[in-house]
């Protein structure tokens, strides 16, 4: 149950409680209108009639509150600076209360992810390099491939930073998204040329061995630039552990390509 459903349920409970209290106050002789709505609760004849309109109005207000769709945090985020909006969107995404009117579940999550991507694109014009790097590291770990890809693209444009590289490596280790890997390989090579490749070998080996099929296949097909004389034997041994199939065949080609490059072929 998301926040909007909880609010609607609470309002409905309040409506019911008010109706029960009104009936108890009127007594057993009160007349009940056919098919009553919240404003149709009838008072008993006499002095009670003058009192009930205010109670009925309260019931109508509670009923309206139960059915109204809250504007939520997506609209609020659109009025804020990018850094503040990103933190608000991240919080409401995990709490499942971003409040996209008329949508539930995955639709609301997709809308929030699109809003986050838009705010990430706006961030460089509004935030310092240090603040950008901090937010990039946060959103590299976000559970949406589009958000991660945008954070990775931003990271590639920032000055090289070991903490950001490690955040990207950690995100890829947990990813099953082959598209994200394809976008990551050029960035990883860029960082590698800058001497920031700590963690690459373990991440690539882990994805190859136990990762999702598509991610592992992408690594097997694109491993050659990350091979070195010191890690070649490790990946050669890993190839021997793989079952026959597309992954093993791709890894075999990558290893052969590296050997060919080393011999000047």
**pLDDT 10s digit of each residue in the chain, 265 long?**
544 444 444 544 444 444 444 444 444 444 344 444 444 443 444 444 444 445 445 445 433 433 333 456 777 887 899 999 999 999 999 988 887 655 555 677 888 999 999 999 999 999 999 999 999 999 999 999 999 999 999 999 999 999 999 999 999 999 999 999 999 999 999 999 999 999 999 999 999 999 999 999 999 999 999 999 999 999 999 999 999 999 999 999 999 999 999 998 6
**Per-residue model confidence (pLDDT) at position 76:** 82
Q: Return the closest-CA partner of residue 201 out of 242, 244, 230.
A: 230
**Per-residue model confidence (pLDDT) at position 31:** 39
**Per-residue model confidence (pLDDT) at position 96:** 86
- Residues 200-225 as b/e (b if ≥16 CB within 10 A, e otherwise) read bbebbbbbbeebeeebbbbbbbbbee
The token pair that represents 188 in the structure block: 């990883």
**Domain ranges across the chain:** 3-67, 199-265
**Per-residue model confidence (pLDDT) at position 236:** 98
Q: How far is CA 264 from CA 24, 118, 236, 256, 258, in A?
A: 94, 46, 20, 12, 10
C-alpha dihedral (159, 121, 163, 251), degrees to nearest 10: -100
**Tokens 């061995």 — which residue?**
209
Q: Residue 127 region, left (φ>0) first, then alpha (ψ -120 to 50), else beta?
A: beta
């Amino acid at each position: 149950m998301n926040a909007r459903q909880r609010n609607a349920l609470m309002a409905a409970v309040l409506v019911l409680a008010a109706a029960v209290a009104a009936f108890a106050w009127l007594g057993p002789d009160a007349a009940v209108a056919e098919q009553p709505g919240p404003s149709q609760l009838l008072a008993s004849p006499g002095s009670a009639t003058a009192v009930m309109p205010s109670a009925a109005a309260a019931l109508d207000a509670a009923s309206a509150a139960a059915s109204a769709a809250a504007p939520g945090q997506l609209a609020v985020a659109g009025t804020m600076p990018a850094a503040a909006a990103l933190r608000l969107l991240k919080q409401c995404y995990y709490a499942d209360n971003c409040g996209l009117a008329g949508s539930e579940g995955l639709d609301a999550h997709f809308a929030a992810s699109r809003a986050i991507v838009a705010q990430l694109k706006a961030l460089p014009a509004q935030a310092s390099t240090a603040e950008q790097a901090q937010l990039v590291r946060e959103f590299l770990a976000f559970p949406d491939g589009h958000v991660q890809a945008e954070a990775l693209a931003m990271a590639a444009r920032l000055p090289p930073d070991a903490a950001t590289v490690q955040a990207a490596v950690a995100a890829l280790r947990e990813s099953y998204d082959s598209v994200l890997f394809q976008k990551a390989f050029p960035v990883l090579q860029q960082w590698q040329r800058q001497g920031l490749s700590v963690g690459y070998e373990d991440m690539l080996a882990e994805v190859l061995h136990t990762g999702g099929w598509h991610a592992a296949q992408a690594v097997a097909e694109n491993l050659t630039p990350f091979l070195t004389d010191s890690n070649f034997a490790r990946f050669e041994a890993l190839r021997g552990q793989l079952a026959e199939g597309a992954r093993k065949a791709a890894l075999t080609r990558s290893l052969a390509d590296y050997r060919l490059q080393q011999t000047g072929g």
